[in-house]
Amino acid sequence: MEELQKRLQETLKVLTPQELSSFRIILKTVDEEPRVSPLQLELQGQTVSGLASLLAKHYYLPAAPRVLTKVLKRLHRADLLPRWQSDPTADSPVIPRKILKRSFDCVESELDCYDLSGKRKAFLMCVKKDRPGSDQDIQRMGHWLHQCQFESTLCIDPDKKELMDKLTSFRDGLNEMKDEIGCCVVTLMSHGEKGFIKMKDGARVSLEDVFEMFNNKNCPGLHEKPKIFIIQACRGEKRDNGIETDDEPMQLDDISEKRRLPTFSDYFIIYPTQADHVALRHSRTGSVMIEKMIDVYKQYGNKWHIVDFFTKVNNRVVRAEFYIHEEPIKVSLVMESTLTRFVYF
C-alpha cells in the first residue's frame, strides 16, 4: 500500500491546482464501489498526500489504478494514462506533459475548471462564395474540433434564413438533450462588417442575435457551460498598416439550491481583428487566424486554458506578414469573455 500511495502522489503532484479541484469533483461520481464520500474528501483529500492516501486506502489494488484512470480520462490527461495502464507499482517515472507555468500554479486558486466530461457540440458555418481559401479553413477547423472531441454540425454557404433555422435547430437540440452537455463551440466564417456577418447573397446577420440565441434565458441546456464563439470575418474596412519599430521581437461542486444567473455568462468570443478593421485571409492558404490556431495546436495540443491558447495564437497572428495591394496589413485578435472558470479541452 505504501508503494501504491507513493505512485499515486507522484501522479497527483503533476496536476495543476485547477485540475486537482476538478479531480475531487469527478471522483465523487466515478462508478466504482464503494464511492468516496464528500465528507471523506473534505476531511482527507484536500492535499495531494491526503488524496493519495485516501485513494490507496479506500480502493486498494487493482481498483485504485482503475479509478485513477477513469478520472484522468475525464480530465483529458491522457499523457498520464500509460503509467497506470501497465503495472502500477513498477518503478517507472511519471512524465508529465509540458505546461506553461504561471504564478497561480504555485497556490490554490479560487477558480476551478469547467467539467467538460459531457457531450461536446459544435456548429461550423462557412460562406465559401467569393472567399478563396475557405476550403482550407473548413478542413482545418473540422480537424481541430474532431481532435478536441466535438461532434460537429456543418452549414456551408447558407442564406440568412437557412443559417438562422439551422442555428435554432442546433440550439433546440442542446436544450432537448438527455445526456449531460460539456461545452458548445460556434464557428462562423464569412465576409462581415461591424456587428454583422454576411451570407452568400450579401444578406446581413447580426452577431448579437446569434449570441443571444445561446444565453441563459434561451439556452438553459448550457447553463454554467462554456459557450465558445470563433468569428472569422471582417469587422469593417479599416486597414492597419502597422508601424516600424526598433524594438527586438519578443519571443464543480454540486449545488442543489436555486440560484440566479446573469442573462449572459460563460461566454468566450474570439474575433480575428480589431473593431472596424478587415480580417486576413489568403486566397491559397486560408484565414490567418485559423492557420495559426492549427499551428499552435499541432505544437502544444490542449495544454492551455483557452484564453492562454488564443493569446499564443495572437502572438503569431501579430507577427504574420500580410500584404493587400503591396501594402502591409497588421491585425490583432480580440477576445471577449464572461467565463467564470478555466476551459481546458
Contacts of 31 (CB under 8 A, 6+ apart): 70
Q: What is the DSSP string of 237-304?
A: SB--------SPP-------S-----SS-SEEEEESS-TTB---EETTTEEHHHHHHHHHHHHH-S-S
Question: Which pairing describes strands 151-156 and 181-189: parallel, antiparallel, or unpaired?
Answer: unpaired
Is 191 an annotated catalytic residue?
yes
Q: What is the DSSP string of 46-104?
A: SSHHHHHHHHHHHHHHHHHHHHHHHHHHHTT-GGGSHHHHS-TTS-----PPP----GG
Distance between start and end Cα atoms, the chain: 33
Q: Give the separation between CA 308 and CA 19, rounded to whole angstroms.
A: 16
Q: Give the separation between CA 13 and CA 219, rounded to whole angstroms.
A: 38
216 secondary structure, DSSP code: T
Kindly state the cell numbers that stand for 266: 460563460
Do 129 and 191 contact (CB within 8 A), yes or no? no
Kindly state the cell numbers that stand for 150: 466535438
Is 58 an annotated catalytic residue?
no
Q: Which residue among 76, 191, 277, 305 is the active-site one?
A: 191
Q: Which residue among 113, 155, 219, 234 is the active-site one?
A: 234
Residues marked active site are found at 191, 234
